[in-house]
Structure 1
Amino acid sequence: MIKNLVRGATALCLALSPLALPTAAGAAPAAAQVLNLADAVDLVPVADESRTGYTRDKFKHWNAGLDPADGCNTRAEVLQAEAVESPTVAAGCKLSGGLWVSYYDEQEVNDPAGLDIDHMVPLAEAWDSGASAWDAKRREAYANDQDAATSLVAVTARTNRQKADQDPSTWMPPHPDAQCRYIGEWTATKLRWNLAADQAEADALKVYAEACETTVVHYTPAA
């Protein structure tokens, strides 16, 4: 049985606090959604996947980030945002020192070079499940999405590379206490970007949703 992640309150344990994206003038912002995990999983459409035409460079990353004037790209901005102890930022946005906790494996890391910024739903998986139909601008927005706290996560390079492009039917974080949070964040990302799941993935999500019955999913649909 998978352990539920307990970090005081469910909302905190999931760390799902997405910010609304800018919208066109006069348009109402997308409404934030709050669902229990089982209901959220039921909203993810099920469809066959295809990797035809995929190359990683079709998702431009890392770009200039939220503040192009600060000289830091998306990777550096995520590292600064997720640091438990802030790194020193030198000229050219060179980071040194700092402290991070990789929630996939509960490892402390004090060197930015030891961390990867993981796309919660990998770029190849996003392509397979809907992003192949997007234009280049939307794929770039996806690959650099800092408007939802769950889209990009700083984790040990080892776990990110073990995960590669796998979905939860074939890979889960090695630390048991991370798994409910991970499934919640995976589902939130799929819903935020209106991405589908293949049947094996959908079946796995349902199994985890039964085990993670107290998990709550927060997401805001991407503009």
Structure 2
Amino acid sequence: MVQDDQCHAVSGTWYSAYHGRTIESASCIDIDHVVPLKEAWRSGTSAWSTPERRAFANGLIHSQLIAVSAGSNRAKDDKDPGDWKPPLQSYSCTCSRAWISVKATYQLTVNPSEAACLPQMLDTCDT
């Protein structure tokens, strides 16, 4: 990846796991939150302080940030797994594990739609 003087990516290649495609244009990549910020708000971050929410949104220790195609990020929007799944079905296992990890790590609630869908997504896991 090549960066400009402000650390913005200007060229390189990125793998978008949601679709299983390699992207060669920085303008076609978005950084997605595995658990969208609006979903996190509905699930408990609304009770947090601004610095706590900022740390959640930008944190790298328990990161939930993933580079994906801009189109898949926009299709996902603020949806949970009950309303959106990655187009690449083989990524369902990884996606569900990441979702559960984020929700558990940050003690966020799970709604009935998520609770019904996540076991089905986990069933796609080999181990």
Cα deviation per residue 1:100-142 (whole Å; 9 max; x = unaligned)? Answer: 1100001111121111100100011000011111010000001
Distance 1:94 1:145 in 2: 18
- The one-letter amino acid paired with 1:134 is W
Q: How does 1:19-58 map to 2 (within 5 A)?
A: none
Partner residue of 2:78 out of 145, 165, 168: 165
2:105 equivalent to 1:192: yes
2:11 equivalent to 1:120: no
Distance 1:176 1:141 in 2: 31
Greater Rg over alpha carbons, structure? 1
Distance 1:153 1:99 in 2: 14
Note the residue ranges of structure 1 that are not aligned, 5 or more in a row.
1-86, 215-223
Q: How does 1:9-158 map to 2 (within 5 A)?
A: 87-149=1-63, 151-158=64-71
How many residues matched? Answer: 127
Is the alpha carbon distance of 1:106 and 1:213 closer, same or farther for their aligned partners in structure 2, counting shifts above 3 Å? closer
Q: TM-score under structure 2 normalisation?
A: 0.93
CA RMSD of aligned residues (A): 1.3
Which runs of 4 or more aligned residues in structure 1 lie more than 3 Å from their structure 2 counterparts after TM superposition? none
Cα deviation per residue 1:172-223 (whole Å; 9 max; x = unaligned)? Answer: 0001111111001111111111111111211111222334361xxxxxxxxx
Aligned position for 1:212: 125
Aligned position for 1:202: 115
Cα deviation per residue 1:7-40 (whole Å; 9 max; x = unaligned)? Answer: xxxxxxxxxxxxxxxxxxxxxxxxxxxxxxxxxx
Q: TM-score under structure 1 normalisation?
A: 0.55
- The one-letter amino acid paired with 1:96 is V
Cα deviation per residue 1:52-95 (whole Å; 9 max; x = unaligned)? Answer: xxxxxxxxxxxxxxxxxxxxxxxxxxxxxxxxxxx112212232
Distance 1:167 1:96 in 2: 31
Name whichever structure is richer in helix by fraction. 2
Question: How many percent identity over aligned positions?
Answer: 36
